[in-house]
């Protein structure tokens, strides 16, 4: 599987003025061919990192952090996890509200990361980070974001992070409402990602009844290696065989709780499987929580660069893997 770096170097031209910076390198548009992600006629499989919830760790949502992650860690793909509602407040009292409660703050955080990624010559996922259905609010959010980045091939849209709802019919109807909103605004036919039921585990359900309203679409699967093992890869293999393109938009080596011990054998099985299938992977997360999957200690600066002593074990693994 061809690495993206050669494509990025070959595509260094100036962006249109609307795409954040006239000095940024232009990236080729991403598109789906069968089950494979493509760019400039070549298959691509990217490795990247996700920022934690914007309303819990807004301090990392800045251009300097993006630049250091790109320059020092080699990140080619970022994910900005924009909390939709106040779900995260249950375990984190005193934090900012989600987009629905504090939309201006959410967009400020998002634009910092997206603009920074564009200026660094990286792709970036705009993630509506929700566990519950908020159709009207999501339409409002994606209308604003798609309008700002209408001509930017860097921007990928993730419609729904981890649906808890077990009804694919309801989620399919949601996607069928959201996709035309983005597609009617964007001039670059952007890559769109859609989640599936039960925290992005039931990829078999869209495989049985896929979306047909848009052709540049992939479905997200999330794994936490100490919890999710062969069965989820087998389910994903069956979906691929049915023609369903998969994007691993969130994962870590620990348990599904985000904590507990890392299972490195399972992590190697997952990362090797993804590489063999040409599937892109995003790791979770740029944050400083006292849990296994957070990559930094609280002593880490918000902007970087980061010395080894403030990078937690999972962060070191991800940095080396990148």
- The pLDDT of 182-211, averaged and rounded, is 97
- Tens digit of pLDDT for each residue in 12-26? 333 333 475 546 778
Can you give the length of the chain in residues?
322
Active site positions, annotated: 162, 250
**pLDDT for res 108:** 98
Other residues' Cβ atoms within 10 Å of the Cβ of residue 289? 20
Other residues' Cβ atoms within 10 Å of the Cβ of residue 205? 20
- What tokens appear for 206 in the block? 């869209």
- The pLDDT of 289-301, averaged and rounded, is 98
- Tens digit of pLDDT for each residue in 32-43? 999 999 999 999
Q: Which helix (H) or strand (E) holds 110?
A: helix 103-120
The answer, yes or no, to whether residue 9 has pLDDT greater than 90, is no
Dist. CA 291–CA 201, nearest whole Å: 22
- Tens digit of pLDDT for each residue in 137-179? 999 999 999 999 999 999 999 999 999 977 999 999 999 999 9
Beta bridge partners of 282: 48
**pLDDT for res 165:** 77
- Tens digit of pLDDT for each residue in 62-116? 999 999 999 999 999 999 999 999 988 888 888 899 999 999 999 999 999 999 9
The answer, yes or no, to whether residue 61 has pLDDT greater than 90, is yes
Of the candidates 196, 170, 184, 102, which has an alpha carbon nearest to the alpha carbon of residue 142? 184
Q: What angle do CA 177, 180, 183 make, to 5 degrees?
A: 150
- The pLDDT of 310-319, averaged and rounded, is 98
**pLDDT for res 93:** 84
**pLDDT for res 22:** 46
The answer, yes or no, to whether residue 4 has pLDDT greater than 80, is no
- Tens digit of pLDDT for each residue in 225-273? 999 999 999 999 999 999 999 999 999 999 999 999 999 999 999 999 9
Dist. CA 99–CA 85, nearest whole Å: 6
Banded model confidence at residue 294, pLDDT cuts 50, 70, 90: very high
Domains of the chain: 5-321 (3.20.20.80)
Dist. CA 99–CA 163, nearest whole Å: 17
User: 55, 95 in Cβ contact below 8 A?
Assistant: yes
């Amino acid at each position: 599987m061809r690495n993206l770096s050669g494509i990025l170097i070959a595509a260094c031209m100036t962006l249109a003025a609307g795409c954040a910076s006239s000095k940024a390198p232009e990236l080729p548009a991403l598109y789906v061919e069968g089950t494979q992600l493509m760019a400039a006629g070549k298959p691509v499989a990217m490795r990247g990192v996700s920022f934690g919830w914007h309303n819990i760790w807004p301090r990392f949502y800045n251009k300097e952090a993006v630049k250091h992650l790109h320059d020092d860690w080699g990140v080619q793909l970022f994910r900005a996890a924009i909390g939709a509602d106040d779900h995260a407040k249950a375990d984190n009292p005193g934090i900012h509200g989600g987009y629905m409660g504090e939309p201006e703050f959410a967009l400020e955080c998002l634009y910092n990361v997206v603009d920074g990624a564009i200026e660094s010559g990286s792709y970036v996922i705009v993630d509506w980070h929700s566990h519950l259905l908020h159709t009207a609010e999501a339409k409002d959010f994606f209308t604003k974001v798609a309008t700002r980045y209408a001509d930017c091939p860097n921007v990928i849209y993730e419609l729904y992070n981890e649906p808890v709802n077990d009804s694919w019919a309801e989620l399919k109807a949601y996607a069928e409402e959201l996709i035309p909103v983005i597609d009617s605004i964007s001039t670059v036919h952007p890559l769109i990602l859609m989640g599936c039921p039960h925290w992005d585990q039931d990829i078999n359900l869209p495989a049985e009844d896929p979306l047909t309203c848009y052709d540049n679409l992939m479905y997200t699967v999330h794994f936490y290696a100490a919890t999710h093992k062969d069965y989820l890869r087998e389910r994903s293999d069956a979906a691929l065989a049915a023609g369903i393109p998969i994007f691993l938009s969130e994962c870590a080596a620990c348990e599904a709780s985000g904590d507990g011990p890392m299972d490195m054998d399972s992590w190697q099985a997952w990362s090797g499987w993804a590489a063999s299938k040409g599937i892109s992977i995003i790791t979770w997360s740029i944050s400083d929580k006292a849990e296994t999957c957070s990559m930094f200690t609280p002593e880490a600066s918000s902007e970087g660069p980061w010395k080894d002593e403030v990078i937690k074990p999972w962060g070191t693994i991800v940095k080396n893997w990148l």
